[in-house]
C-alpha cells in the first residue's frame, strides 16, 4: 500500500476537521449558464476566491492525523502516520486550490450514471390494447367545476373551443390565489407569462392549429426548475432572489406542447421536506398537516384542484411521499428518461423529474411531452414516449412484496382488487442490502452540490437547523472518504443486478407507499414507479399504493396503473376545500 493511497483516505477527514472555521460571509450566488451547454461551463479562468471557513495555513501534526484516522475507522501506527504527514499536507493544499474556483450547481461531475450496468437486461415490451375513447365533453355552466377534470376532458373542451386557454389559465390562477393562504404551495405566480401564452394559444386554435392534448392546459413547476425572467428560489432563503437566464428543458418541452405555466410551486429548502422560507406547505385533505416533501407544492396544488398537473422531482421519495400524503397519482420515471437540464442538482446519480397528476392516464399524457433524449444532458435516453392504449391487466405478472404490507392491513385491499381483476400474482422479496450505508452516495453528492453554502457560512440561512437537515448533513458528508463513496457505488451495482433478477419473473410489483425497502432500493437502481391513492384513512386522509416497473417500461406500467384505476375509482375522490 503506497503512502499516496493511504493519504487519500485520511485527508478527507483531516480537511473536514481542519478546514471549517467560524467566520461566515455572504457571497454572490452563481447563475446557470445561458443554455446549459458545455461552452458555458466554468473553466480555470473563472473567478477565484477564498472560502470564509477555509484554514489551509494551519499546520497539521500527528495528533490531527490520529484523530482523522479514528473518524474513518483506520488503526495506524505512529510510524505510518509520520509517513502520511507530508502527503496529507500536500493534498489539503490541493483541495484549497480546487475550492477557490466558482462552480455552478448546473455543472455535473465528469462521470455519468446509467441504470443499465453490464448484466442488467433491457426488458421493455410494447403495450398492446384499445385506444382511449375521446370524451363527449360539454362546457359546464360553472367553469369552477373543471377544477378536478381530467386532461382528456380539458383537452377536448379546448380543442373544440368550448373553453378558451385564457379561461383555463384565469381559473387556475384564481384558485391558486384563493387557496394559497391556507396551503402555502405557491412561491411565485407567473400571471403575466401565463396569460400572454394562453392568449397566443387561443389565436393558434382560431387559425386551425392544435398542438396536442396539453394545448392550453395550466401547470405548475416545482421551484427548482429554471424559468427565464421568473425567480427560481430552490425553496431556500439563500437563493430567494435568484434569477436564472434560461428555461429548464422540461419547461421548454411543455411550452412546445402548449401547456401554460401558471406558478412556481414550493419545495422544502434545497429539496428536503415541506418547509421552505415562506412557511410549511399544507395537505389539502388536512391543512393542519404538512404536505410532505420535497415536491410539497406540486402535490398540494394538484390535489387541491389548483392545477391539472405539475412537475416534481425525486431523489429519495420527493415525488412518492407528498403524492402519497396528498392523494395524487404521480410517476417517478426511470433515471435518464427526462432531461434534468436547468433543474437544481442534488444528486447527479439519483435525481429524477416526473409528472404529478390526478390519474395514471394524465401522467402518460404529460410524460409523452417531457420524456426523451436531450443532447445537453448525457444521462438521458430516447426515444420519445408515446402514451399507451388501454390494456388487459390479465396479461400481467405482478409481484407482491408481502414483507412490505406488514402493518398496512388496509392497503392489502389492493391485493384483493388485483386478484378480482384476474392479475397473475407472484410473491417477491426485496434484496437484502445495507441501504442506509449505501445512501452515503446521496449525502456526499448533495454536500458537493451545495459545498459553497458550507464553506462560506450561508448554510445558516436554511430554515431547518437540526441534526436531520441539510446544513448538518452537508457538514457530516465532508467526513466521508472518497474511498468509501466509491465502495458504496460498487455495492450499488450489486443491488442493481439483484433487482434485475427480480424483474426477470414479474412485469411490476406492488407495495404500500410507505412500506418496505423498495423506495430506497428503486431510487438507487433507477426503476420507475407510479404512486396512487387506494382509499381513505379514518381521519379522511388518503392511503396510497406504489406500482414499480421495469427499467424504461413506463408504457406498460402506466397502462396497468390506468387499468387498476378504472377498475377501482379511488382517484376520483377529492378533498373539500
- The string of DSSP letters for 522-542 reads HHHHT--EEEEEEEE-TTSPE
Residue 554 has pLDDT above 70, yes or no: yes
192 CB burial (10 A radius; 0-12, 13-18, 19+):
exposed
Share of the chain above pLDDT 90, in %: 85
**Mean pLDDT computed over 467-487:** 95
Average the pLDDT over 413-417 and give the result: 95
State what percent of residues in the chain have pLDDT above 70.
90
Cell 400474482 sits on residue: 425
Q: Where are the beta strands (DSSP E) in 139-285?
A: 186-189, 218-222, 260-265, 275-276, 279-280, 282-283
Coil, helix or strand at residue 19: coil
pLDDT at 26 over 70: no
Provide the total of helices (H) and of strands (E) in the chain, helices listed first: 18, 15
Q: How far apart are the first and last CA of the chain?
A: 66
- Mean pLDDT of all residues in 106-113: 94
Lowest-pLDDT choice from 19-33, 228-242, 317-331, 405-419: 19-33
94-98, 110-114, 306-310: which range is least confident on average? 94-98
User: In the predicted model, is pLDDT for residue 538 greater than 50?
Assistant: yes
The neighbour count for residue 490, using CB atoms within 10 Å, is 8
Closest among 546, 517, 115 to 350, alpha carbons compared: 115
The predicted structure's pLDDT at residue 95: 87
Q: Which helix (H) or strand (E) holds 503?
A: none
Q: Which CATH architecture has domain 143-434+490-572?
A: Alpha-Beta Complex (3.90)
pLDDT (0 to 100) of residue 33: 31
Confidence tier at 7 by pLDDT (50, 70, 90): very low
- State the virtual CA torsion across 191, 194, 199, 205 in degrees, nearest 10: -150
Domain spans, the chain: 1-104, 143-434+490-572
| All three cell numbers of 230 | 421568473
Cell digits for 346?
Answer: 442534488
**Cα distance between residue 487 and residue 349, in whole Å:** 15
349: its cell numbers: 446519480
Instruction: Choose between 4 and 128: higher pLDDT.
Output: 128
Sequence-distant (≥ 6) Cβ neighbours of residue 242 within 8 angstroms: 29, 31, 231, 232, 233, 234
Which whole number is the average pLDDT over 492-499? 98
What's residue 383's pLDDT? 84
Would you place residue 38 in the very low, low, confident or very high pLDDT band (cuts 50, 70, 90)? very low
> What's the predicted TM-score (pTM) here?
0.91
Kindly state the average pLDDT of the residues 67-79.
92
DSSP 225: B
Query: Given a cut of 70, is residue 77 above it in pLDDT?
Result: yes
Catalytic sites, residue numbers: 222, 294, 318
pLDDT of residue 100: 87
**Mean confidence (pLDDT) of the chain:** 91
With cut-offs at 50, 70 and 90, classify the pLDDT of residue 35.
very low
User: pLDDT per residue over 273-303, tens digit each?
Assistant: 999 999 999 999 999 999 999 999 999 999 9
Q: What is the mean pLDDT of residues 254-281?
A: 98
Residue 309: its H or E element: strand 309-314
**5 pLDDT above the threshold of 80:** no
Backbone angles phi, psi at 495, to 5 degrees: -60, -40
More confident residue, 24 or 216: 216
| pLDDT value for 58 | 81
Q: To which H or E segment does residue 521 belong? A: helix 518-525
Tell me the mean pLDDT in the region 54-66: 82
pLDDT confidence band for 34 (50 / 70 / 90): very low
Question: How high is the pLDDT of residue 461?
Answer: 87
Q: What pLDDT, on the 0 to 100 scale, is given for residue 250?
A: 98
pLDDT at 9 over 90: no
What would the mean pLDDT of 505-534 be, rounded to a whole number? 97
Amino acid at each position: 500500500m503506497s503512502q499516496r493511497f493511504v493519504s487519500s483516505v485520511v485527508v478527507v477527514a483531516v480537511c473536514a476537521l481542519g478546514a471549517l472555521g467560524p467566520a461566515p460571509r455572504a457571497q454572490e450566488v452563481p447563475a446557470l449558464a445561458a443554455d446549459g451547454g458545455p461552452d458555458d461551463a466554468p473553466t480555470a479562468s473563472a473567478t477565484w476566491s477564498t472560502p470564509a471557513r477555509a484554514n489551509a495555513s494551519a499546520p497539521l501534526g500527528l495528533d490531527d492525523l490520529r484523530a482523522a484516522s479514528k473518524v474513518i475507522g483506520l488503526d495506524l501506527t505512529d510510524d505510518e502516520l509520520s509517513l502520511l504527514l507530508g502527503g496529507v499536507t500536500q493534498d489539503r493544499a490541493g483541495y484549497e486550490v480546487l475550492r477557490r474556483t466558482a462552480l455552478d450547481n448546473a455543472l455535473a461531475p465528469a462521470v455519468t450514471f446509467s441504470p443499465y450496468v453490464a448484466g442488467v437486461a433491457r426488458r421493455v415490451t410494447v403495450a398492446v390494447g384499445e385506444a382511449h375513447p375521446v370524451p363527449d365533453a360539454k362546457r359546464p355552466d360553472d367553469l369552477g367545476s373543471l377544477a378536478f377534470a381530467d386532461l382528456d376532458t380539458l383537452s377536448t373542451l379546448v380543442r373544440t373551443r368550448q373553453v378558451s386557454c385564457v379561461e383555463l389559465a384565469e381559473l387556475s390562477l384564481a384558485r391558486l390565489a384563493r387557496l394559497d393562504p391556507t396551503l402555502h404551495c405557491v412561491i411565485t405566480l407567473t400571471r403575466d407569462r401565463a396569460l400572454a401564452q394562453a392568449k397566443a394559444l387561443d389565436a393558434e386554435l382560431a387559425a386551425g392549429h392544435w398542438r396536442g392534448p396539453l394545448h392550453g392546459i395550466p401547470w405548475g413547476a416545482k421551484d427548482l426548475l429554471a424559468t427565464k425572467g421568473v425567480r427560481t428560489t430552490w425553496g431556500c432563503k439563500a437563493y430567494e432572489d435568484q434569477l436564472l437566464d434560461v428555461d429548464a428543458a422540461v419547461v421548454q418541452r411543455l411550452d412546445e406542447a402548449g401547456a401554460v405555466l401558471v406558478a412556481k410551486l414550493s419545495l422544502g429548502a434545497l429539496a428536503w421536506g415541506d418547509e421552505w422560507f415562506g412557511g410549511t406547505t399544507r395537505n389539502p385533505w388536512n391543512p393542519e398537516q404538512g404536505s410532505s416533501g420535497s415536491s410539497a407544492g406540486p402535490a398540494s396544488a394538484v390535489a387541491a384542484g389548483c392545477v391539472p398537473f405539475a412537475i416534481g422531482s425525486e431523489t429519495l421519495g420527493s415525488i412518492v411521499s407528498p403524492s402519497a400524503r396528498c392523494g395524487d397519482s404521480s410517476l417517478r420515471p426511470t433515471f435518464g428518461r427526462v432531461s434534468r437540464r436547468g433543474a437544481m442538482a442534488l444528486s447527479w446519480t439519483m435525481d429524477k423529474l416526473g409528472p404529478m397528476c390526478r390519474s395514471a392516464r394524465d401522467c402518460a399524457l404529460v410524460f409523452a411531452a417531457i420524456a426523451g433524449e436531450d443532447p445537453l444532458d448525457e444521462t438521458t435516453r430516447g426515444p420519445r414516449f408515446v402514451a399507451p392504449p388501454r390494456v388487459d391487466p390479465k396479461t400481467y405478472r405482478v409481484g407482491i412484496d408481502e414483507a412490505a404490507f406488514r402493518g398496512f392491513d388496509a392497503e392489502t385491499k389492493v391485493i384483493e382488487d388485483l386478484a378480482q381483476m384476474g392479475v397473475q400474482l407472484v410473491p417477491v422479496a426485496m434484496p437484502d442490502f445495507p441501504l442506509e450505508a449505501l445512501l452515503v452516495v446521496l449525502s456526499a453528492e448533495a454536500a458537493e452540490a451545495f459545498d459553497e453554502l458550507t464553506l462560506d457560512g450561508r448554510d445558516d440561512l436554511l430554515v431547518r437547523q437540526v441534526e436531520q437537515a441539510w446544513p448538518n448533513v452537508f457538514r457530516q458528508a465532508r467526513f466521508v472518504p472518497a474511498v468509501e463513496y466509491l465502495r458504496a457505488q460498487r455495492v450499488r451495482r450489486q443491488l442493481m443486478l439483484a433487482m434485475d433478477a427480480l424483474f426477470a419473473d414479474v412485469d411490476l410489483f406492488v407495495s404500500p407507499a410507505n412500506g418496505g425497502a423498495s423506495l430506497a432500493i428503486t431510487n438507487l437502481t433507477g426503476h420507475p414507479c407510479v404512486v396512487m391513492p387506494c382509499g381513505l384513512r379514518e381521519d379522511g386522509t388518503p392511503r396510497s399504493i406504489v406500482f414499480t416497473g421495469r427499467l424504461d417500461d413506463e408504457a406498460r406500467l402506466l397502462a396497468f396503473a390506468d387499468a387498476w384505476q378504472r377498475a377501482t375509482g379511488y382517484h376520483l375522490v377529492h378533498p373539500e376545500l
